[in-house]
């Protein structure tokens, strides 16, 4: 199995383990995915599998996508296509089903998603700066304060933490433990939080 | 969301009696000490019940040797052996935090008068 799968975040809940300890888990609906394209050393210069997630009829795909799918002999269209690096991509069959069964309880996973957008955020929210006093005549409530010295260097250093757009970026959370796998519902329960909103698209890979 | 609720249902317990804030209960908790496992009891008044699927909790308050002790239990924890209702209390609030400011006679709770079954 390729060690990767595409999924959708369902949400978070808590679960009791066998000792009765509460474990926070994220429920992910992962797969079934289908192999669409095999990329090999010979043809592409590297080995990878392109997987399709969530079927949709071919007629609903736009023409470039339809052409791509038909070229590789895919019978149905997909909402999402994502690529996973694997060794031995040759050994997979086009259309082969990839499910959560490849993961076992206790495995470690890296989960990639797009974080929730926070818009234009100040330094307090974005970089956890302290805020100034709210009273006693203070006028610097949530201001960033000094952003550097004056005549020398006469400029602001690159990388200085300032207000700006926050969130809506690709985030990887590493080393999440698999708490439960349910192939019958295509569900994956991992310990801890993953980036993005509910129903957000996630890429799940074996850690390491 | 629907599926999240469904998934949580599996973990939730339906075997516990329906107790409410104001009730005096005895909570039997399973405690593992190294190899040994034993049951510990905690007797007191339920002063709060909080909802939320598997995350539901309740707080039991008792006064032990003149010191108020409150313990928070996850309602659906498998470590709760059983909950025994000793008496039903008649209270008007759902959160009985006012008991913390009271002691002795003032901290009593009237027993609920139930129609004869």
Q: Residue A140: inside a domain, yes or no?
A: no
Q: pLDDT tens across B32-59, in order? A: 888 888 999 999 999 999 987 888 999 9
Q: Residue A24: inside a domain, yes or no?
A: yes
pLDDT greater than 60 at residue B117: no
Burial of A204: CB neighbours in 10 Å, binned 0-12, 13-18, 19+: buried
More confident residue, A139 or A91: A139
Q: pLDDT tens across A167-195, in order? A: 999 999 999 999 989 888 889 999 999 99
Q: pLDDT tens across B3-19, in order? A: 788 878 778 888 888 89
Q: Residue A100: inside a domain, yes or no?
A: yes
Inspect the interface and report whether the beta carbons of A27 and B3 lie closer than 8 Å.
yes
Q: Residue A151: inside a domain, yes or no?
A: no
Q: Residue A147: inside a domain, yes or no?
A: no
CATH number at residue A76: 2.40.30.10
List CB contacts (< 8 A) between B11 and chain A.
Answer: 15-16
Inspect the interface and report whether the beta carbons of A27 and B77 lie closer than 8 Å.
no
Give the minimum alpha-carbon distance from B10 to chain A in angstroms, rounded to a whole number.
10
| Nearest CB to B3 within list A10, A14, A16 | A10
Give the minimum alpha-carbon distance from A185 to chain B in angstroms, rounded to a whole number.
10
**pLDDT tier at B115, thresholds 50, 70, 90:** low
pLDDT greater than 80 at residue A156: yes
Query: What mean pLDDT do residues B19-34 have?
Result: 90
**pLDDT for the residue numbered A77:** 85
Q: Residue A152: inside a domain, yes or no?
A: no
Q: Which residues contact A76 (CB under 8 A, 6 or more apart)?
A: A34, A55, A56, A57, A58, A69
Bridge partners of A15, per DSSP, are: A23
Share of chain A above pLDDT 70, in %: 99
Residue-by-residue DSSP string for A159-172: T---SEEES-SEEE
Q: pLDDT tens across B67-100, in order? A: 999 999 999 988 898 899 998 988 999 999 999 9
For residues A190 and B114, give the distance between their C-alpha atoms in angstroms, rounded to a whole number. Answer: 47
**pLDDT tier at A143, thresholds 50, 70, 90:** very high
List C-alpha distances in Å: A206 to A5, A48, A150, A188, A201.
Answer: 9, 15, 49, 13, 17
**pLDDT tier at A92, thresholds 50, 70, 90:** confident
- Looking at the structure of chain A, the number of domains it has is 1
Mean pLDDT of chain A: 89
Q: Residue A154: inside a domain, yes or no?
A: no
Give the domain range for residue A198. 4-133+160-206
For residues B7 and B5, give the distance between their C-alpha atoms in angstroms, rounded to a whole number. Answer: 5
- DSSP designation for A87: S
Q: Residue A44: inside a domain, yes or no?
A: yes
For residues A53 and A30, give the distance between their C-alpha atoms in angstroms, rounded to a whole number. Answer: 9
| Nearest CB to A11 within list B1, B54, B77 | B1
Whole-model pTM?
0.82
List CB contacts (< 8 A) between B30 and chain A.
Answer: 20
Inspect the interface and report whether the beta carbons of B79 and A20 lie closer than 8 Å.
yes
**pLDDT for the residue numbered A67:** 87
Backbone dihedral angles phi then psi of residue B100, each to the nearest 5 degrees = -65, -30
């Amino acid at each position: 199995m390729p060690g990767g799968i595409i999924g959708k975040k369902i949400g978070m809940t808590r679960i009791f383990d066998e000792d009765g300890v509460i474990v926070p888990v994220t429920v992910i609906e992962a797969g079934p995915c289908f192999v669409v394209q095999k990329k090999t050393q010979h043809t592409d210069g590297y080995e990878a599998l392109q997987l399709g997630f969530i079927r949709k009829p071919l007629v609903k795909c736009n023409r470039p996508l339809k052409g791509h799918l038909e070229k590789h002999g895919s019978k149905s269209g997909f909402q999402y296509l994502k690529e996973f690096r694997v060794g031995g991509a040759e050994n997979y069959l086009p259309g082969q089903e990839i499910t959560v069964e490849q993961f076992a309880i206790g495995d470690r996973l890296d989960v990639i998603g797009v974080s929730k957008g926070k818009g234009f955020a100040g330094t307090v929210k974005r970089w956890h700066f302290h805020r100034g006093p709210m009273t006693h005549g203070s006028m610097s409530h949530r201001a960033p304060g000094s952003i550097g010295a004056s005549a020398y260097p006469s400029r602001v250093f690159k990388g200085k933490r300032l207000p700006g757009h926050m969130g809506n970026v690709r985030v990887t959370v590493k080393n999440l433990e698999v708490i439960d796998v349910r192939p019958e519902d295509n569900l994956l329960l991992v310990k801890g939080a993953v980036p993005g909103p509910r129903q957000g698209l996630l890429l799940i890979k074996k850690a390491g | 969301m629907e599926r999240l609720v469904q998934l949580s249902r599996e973990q939730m317990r339906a075997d516990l009696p329906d107790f409410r804030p104001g009730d005096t209960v005895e909570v039997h908790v399973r405690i593992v000490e190294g190899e040994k496992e034993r049951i510990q009891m905690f007797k007191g008044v339920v002063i709060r019940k909080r909802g939320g699927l598997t995350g539901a909790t309740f707080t039991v308050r008792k006064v032990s040797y003149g010191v108020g002790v409150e313990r928070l239990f996850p309602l659906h924890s498998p470590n709760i052996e059983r909950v025994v209702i000793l008496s039903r209390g008649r209270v008007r609030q759902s959160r009985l935090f006012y008991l913390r400011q009271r002691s002795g006679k003032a901290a009593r709770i009237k027993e609920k008068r139930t129609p004869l079954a």
